[in-house]
Structure 1
Amino acid sequence: MKIAFVINQTHKEKAGFTTTLLAYSALQRGHSVYYIGLADFVYLDHDKIAAHARIIRQIGNIADTQQLIDALKSTSKERVFMDDFDVLWLRFDPVLDMINRPWAAAMGLQFAQLAQKLGVRVLNDPRALVDAENKLYLENFPEEIRPRTIVTRSYDDVKQFFEEQHHEIILKPLKGSGGKNVFLVNKQESKNLKQIVEVICRDGYLIAQEYLPKAQYGDIRFFLLNGKPLIRNGKYASVHRVQSTGEIRSNIHQGAKAQKAVISPEMLQMVEKVAEKLIQDGMYFVGLDIIDDKIMEINVFSPGALLQASELNGEDYAAAIIEDLEKSNGKNKTE
């Protein structure tokens, strides 16, 4: 197969990224990989959509993911027509370009839809991603599996919600990632509430959520494939992310430690409640952030931490995903 990954920018890619693991696994299984930045698309005609891609057609002397990244960055771009791809995989983070390149994510989704019209399989479905570009997407799922939430730019709304939630809430940008500008506000911090609201609202709307006491023990990143738990040899692709002392964020790159997750029957029952809509929306690969009996976020653009899940469980989840692609695309290992 010819698998194209749409990313923000090549120079920002790293060896431990989930995208890199997927690309390396695809190469190992005999496929070709193409990397396309959000600034690399070309419209030539309604049936001629192209991209300037960095291409690695065979694994050659690439021994690990770092060598893959090195090879990728030293490879010149080639113009390739989109209908030549078997899979166009959207693996960019809209938040990374929100300030300096506000046009980038929207154009990526628009070109992905054009490719889709040409018969290219696009993951995740770009039409649904338009609606899922921020955390409000979670509100489309059953009420019992999500925390109490408001979305606003009004300090008065936040203050009222703060009082209703017994003076303990989480505040964060509606459109955000990586744990940036995430605040726990309690009675001790209430004097800073207005300032925190102003800081977050500089870049748009904020989301306020009830604080779950078990958040102090971290969260679980749980991966789904085609609406079902990603599982290999009986082990669920998941990571228990435990924040460092004095930190409320569970993001790995914010210092959280990755531990093996314990997956309960109750958690699996909760996951089942989001499966049908994710399948309907064409969300092929998804990462859920779970605390206790609530799903805090549904990550549909570029969910990470697959490396940590693989290392903790001793399973190659990237290979499992590529194997599934082969089956669902009706392709063998060769192009």
Structure 2
Amino acid sequence: MAPQMGLAMNKLMIFVMDPIADINFKKDSTLAIAQAAQAAGWPLAYAELSDLFIENGNAFADVQALTVFDDAKHWFELGERHTLALGSEHAIMMRKDPPFDSPFLYATHILQRAATAGALVVNNPQSLRDCNEKLFATQFPDCCPPLLVSNNLAKLRAFHQKHNDVIFKPLDGMGGSGIFRCKQSDSNLASIIEVLTDNGTDYIMAQKFIPAISAGDKRILMINGEPVEYALARIPADGELRGNLAAGGQGVAQPLTARDKEIASRVGPTLRAKGLFFVGLDVIGDYLTEINVTSPTCIREIDAAYSTNIGPRLISAIDEAFLSKKR
């Protein structure tokens, strides 16, 4: 049975995540991180977004003790629910999947209050708010393809006219949702732009099409600003534009290229400065296209191919940061 947890505990790692009963055992990166933390001696707790709250200025969470197992039929057990004041004895893994909607936004404010009380929150709540996964990449224009972020229909049409083959995508999508490719003579151009921008209201991104997508959309995992030495290239299915695994892409692990390492080196210091411990860079060919800061995945696929032990490496970095906060 899972251990019973009282209201007061020393060192504790709390996973704020989607319902654990619904995860994909074979692929879930949050479970891989939890298993690594448990193996490293961390007591674990589980909470969902709705379990976070502020009372009289202080951050709390209704949590349950969590025990995880490497068993496809029985991968977790939960203890009784208790309320904890979040503070310096806690490391909090914010692993709620997008969308970045109002509940997610308010949760980051609650977690910011926990961080102020001394908790180590991974990733930094302020940075989760500041770093939109598509816009964040534009801070590194030397790494990105030609792109435009706008809600102006004329500017978006002009960008397409200049580059002829363009990807249009919403700024808040995930898993490849809402992505359109418009070639030079695409008769749907006006309609696509109007729909994505809600007739000029919402901002979207236009990005010059990168033919190297046929070789895969690479996910490079970054731990405290340093890249894991292998990436997962997500190769589009036949007849499909998107490489996302959620859109049917095939994952193939491969060593980082020289350009991959250059991009990681360029972005890494900013990730460390912003407290973004665990991040996924999306790279197509020689170009950075997104920086995933909410709940990056692909741990299990890369580990299975190259025994990279990504979970233990992340936990080791968290251990070091946690001890540093207490000195």
Q: TM-score by structure 1 length?
A: 0.86
Note the alpha carbon deviations across 1:144-198, whole angstroms, 9 max, x for none. 1011111122332221100111x1011111111111011111135x111122223
For residues 144 and 41 of structure 1, do their structure 2 counterparts lie closer, same or farther at Cα, with a shift above 3 Å needed? Answer: same
Q: What is residue 233 of structure 1 aligned with on the other side?
A: none
Q: CA deviation at 1:319?
A: 1.7
Residues 289, 67 of structure 1: CA spacing in aligned structure 2 closer, same or farther, 3 A cutoff?
A: same
Identify the residue that residue 197 of structure 1 maps to in structure 2.
193
Written as runs of structure 1 = structure 2, the 5 A alignment for 1:300-311 is 300-311=293-304
* CA contact 2:230–2:255 (8 Å) conserved in 1: no
Contact 1:4 1:85 in 2 (8 A): no
1:191 is paired with a residue whose SS is: coil
Q: How far apart, CA to CA, are the structure 1 residues paired with 2:90 and 2:119?
A: 6
**Shift in alpha-carbon separation, 1:155–1:8, aligned structure 2, 3 A:** farther
Separation of aligned partners in 2, 1:223 and 1:52: 31
Unpaired runs of 5+ residues, structure 1, are: 231-235
Q: Which residue of structure 1 lines up, in the alignment, with residue 74 of structure 2? A: 67
**Alpha-carbon distance, 1:76 to partner:** 4.8
User: Is 2:22 aligned against 1:18?
Assistant: no
**1:156 is aligned with what amino acid?**
A
Structure 2 SS opposite 1:222: strand
Aligned to 1:139: 138
CA positional deviation for 1:266: 2.8
**CA 1:63 to 1:274, structure 2 compared with 1: closer, same or farther past 3 Å?**
closer
Aligned counterpart in structure 2 of residue 79 of structure 1, from 83, 86, 107: 83
CA distance in 2, matches of 1:32, 1:184: 47
Q: CA deviation at 1:24?
A: 1.6
Identity between Structure 1 and Structure 2 (%): 24
Aligned counterpart in structure 2 of residue 282 of structure 1, from 267, 272, 275:
275
Partner residue, 1:108: 107
Equivalent residue number for residue 242 of structure 1: 235
Partner of 1:245: helix, strand, or coil? coil
Equivalence map 1:1-335=2 (5 Å):
1-10=11-20, 12-15=22-25, 16-46=27-57, 48-56=58-66, 58=67, 62-64=69-71, 67-69=74-76, 71-72=77-78, 76-83=80-87, 85-95=89-99, 102-141=101-140, 143-165=141-163, 167-188=164-185, 190-202=186-198, 204-230=202-228, 236-330=229-323
Cα distance in 2 between the residues matched to 1:185 and 1:132:
27
| Alignment partners' CA distance in 1, 2:60 and 2:82 | 10
- Aligned residue in 1 for 2:6: none
Deviates more, 1:9-18 or 1:146-155: 9-18
DSSP 3-state at the match of 2:142: helix
Counterpart CA distance in 2 for 1:81 and 1:13 is 27
Paired residue secondary structure (1:240): strand
The residue aligned with 2:7 is none
RMSD over equivalenced CA pairs, Å: 2.1
Matched to 1:279, the amino acid is: R
> What is the TM-score when the length of structure 2 is the normalising length?
0.88
- The alpha-carbon deviation at position 85 of structure 1 amounts to 4.2
